Structure 1
Amino acid sequence: MSASAAVVMNASRSARSRYTKLDRYAPSRYAGSYADRSSSDERSFIVPALVCLAGVCLIAVGAWSLASAETAGEARSERLQPYVDAVSRWEATARADFAKASFAVASSPWGDTTQLAPSKARQSLSKTESKHDDIPEYEGLTYSHTFQAKLDGNEGGPDMQVDVSVAGSDGGADGVQAQIKLPPAPLRTHRITHENAKMCRIHGGVMLRTRGGGCGHTLILSELCVVVARDPATGSWMRAPGNKASCWPSRMHTQYFRGEGTALYRQVNTAAVMMANRVAAELRNGTNAPEASSSSSSPTGASLEKSSSGLPAIGIGAAESSLPAVMITVRHIADPEFIALNVTSGAGYFGATAKETSVDGWVMICVGLVLMLPVGCLVCLEYAVPALGKMRVPRVSLASQDRLSTIGRGGGGSGGGMVEMLRRSAGVGDSSSGPRPTI
């Protein structure tokens, strides 16, 4: 056998062995890497899928808002109509009738009878409703007076209660027509909230280890208020029957009410309360606990005592006993603010208008589309553009054909037969030689 024939036979054997190895080992060699890649791809699509789901939900809610915009506007108009009617009645007759009356504190801890002064101001609802054009404003009317009086002896003790009676009349020769007695209100009261130690200290409270724990707050009487109405039988002023709402409903979230909504308390957050924390600890531990009759003076002039409830209280000392400033206020039951809060369950918000509902719907749809855009791009890259590993390749690469042609040209005159034999042995150019090897 010549040298050229030996070279061609060796090349044929190496080509066959190479094709056989590729066909035999290629699937098993890369099977694990393909499985790992597919599982990692599935994990990488979890977060985009959740984002896409959020976008779909926003689009659905936005479409529902657009569809229900007119219904929301009609519901707002129905809730708003009683308030509009109340403003009309107030401006027509109720305010003028209330302006003819006069109120005075007939009996109180201060002793003297004091006339309450009328106060007029433009009234409006919450800031959320003030920006709406369909909310009418009205001129309110209240009677009030602020007391700041000295007390003697033990009248300023920690368990003192303020009893106030308000006399109402229409003026003129009729004199006093009715006397309205407010429920007794303690000078101080306490409130227990469930706060952690840090928030309790910031709010000026005392952490309690008894009575179920919690944060104890000390509150001082700030305002007494009564809602009045005309007696249908006699025509005199009386306390509005069945009215359990406070006189200042808009302040319910910032201050504390008790006594059927007639007493308003403010939370004390001063150096005296911070000193009460130390006294409360001494009272709990039973060491150096001061007695109620001999209490130390605080930097604010108030004394620290133990109230009947067992909580630390800010007492009024005997040397300088001054009742905190307390305001007495009288309001009319026909005030439109009460009507608005009754209709809206105390919220003072009649609902969104049709325009606001439509705007909210379009905003949610736009946000949903923005959230779905990256996910759409990922889906297009994954499925619309074919992956390189899934593309069909030639059965015999061009490089192999060029290499075989080079061998044939270098073999001289007998090279053509050798090349043809090599092609046939490799399965190239012969349709009857069976399936062609793939690379």
Structure 2
Amino acid sequence: MRTQTVKNKHHKLSLIAGALLTGALTPTFAVAADDIASAVSDSTANVMLRYRLETVDQDGKTEDAMASTLKTRLTWTSAPLHGVSALVEVDNVSYIGADQFNSTNNGKTDYPVVADPKGTDINQAAIKFTGEALTLVGGRQRINLDNQRFVGGVGWRQNEQTYDGARVTYNATEKLTLDYSLVFNVNRIFGPDDGAQPADWHGTFHFANGNYKINDNHKVTAFAYLIDNDDAAATSTDTYGLDYVGSFGPVTASVSYANQVDAGDNPNEFSANYFKAELAGNVGPVKVLGGLEVLGSDNGVGFSTPLATLHKFQGFADKFLGTPGNGIEDLYVSAITSLGGVKLIATYHDFSSDKNSISYGSEIDLVAAYKVNNNADLLVKFASYDADELATDTSKFWAMATVKF
């Protein structure tokens, strides 16, 4: 049954790529064979290896988790031919040594979750047309919108989240950029095979995003993200919002607002709001930023962002991948500096509910990152969540090395 599903997905992938690009590509069908051969011979192939050791100590679990995983990525990109190029990217996740963890599909539920199931998957397979002001992409592709709070690739996990569909980006003027995607399948981080979580979400997903650059210091973005999820109806929502980013001398400010309502076959009826405000500036060699992010709730349902790169937000311990029914307020402060070429980041979070005055807990996150050269990076990261009235105490540690060829 899954084989037939995969065949259907690949058939749809081909259809949508063709439908999107036929008009743009028609003239290219008459190009000389040697031009096509040149596009292939001038193509590039790249390899990326990312090794990570991840440990989790979580109260309530009888065992501590330890995951030793290797991600191998092969990327092939053709040379452009009359503005048209092709991309194929394959990812493999394998285990090297320690595999004492719940990958979400290995059945090891006595251990905490480390959501890196092993397997091989087509991460991207797309055709791209690049014009003077217009870019078209059809097929399986990476879509990261703005800061990835609503739509992203979850690149932190070893199996990236990518999207099957069509995307149009239009630079209308020097200041205005319009971006629209129509997606029919989300290739989630839990693949390539179904487990406790489905590897794919099928449905109809509309991502509309327009940003206007007022000047060099100020930008406004309007967005609409419409989710009709066939496989998880409770995530079907319509979200509309605005985002502002600007700088005032040495201080950078950002403000976001969005409203979300139920859509499609969502069994819940609600209308919840999102708000975020953040300020950042330098104090000597240290960059300091602080902010408040609120995911509201209504009728016992929290504002949700199921397609976001969730690990970036509300703490690296990942205790709030789903919004509680009472919503969440995240009051946070970060300090960022460099020492001997090592980037250092420390962040403190205080979590509470948006409604009913519940103290969820607090978290400390620490990061040390070092760029060896243009092809190699090292990273060490630590997160400690101190539970109050939600979830349990959890500590996580990561050591990671990335090499690109």
Counting helix residues as a fraction of each chain, which structure ranks higher? 1
Structure number with greater CO (CA < 8 Å, separation at least 6) is 1
Compute the TM-score of the two structures, normalised by the length of structure 2. Answer: 0.21
Counting strand residues as a fraction of each chain, which structure ranks higher? 2
Compute the TM-score of the two structures, normalised by the length of structure 1. Answer: 0.19
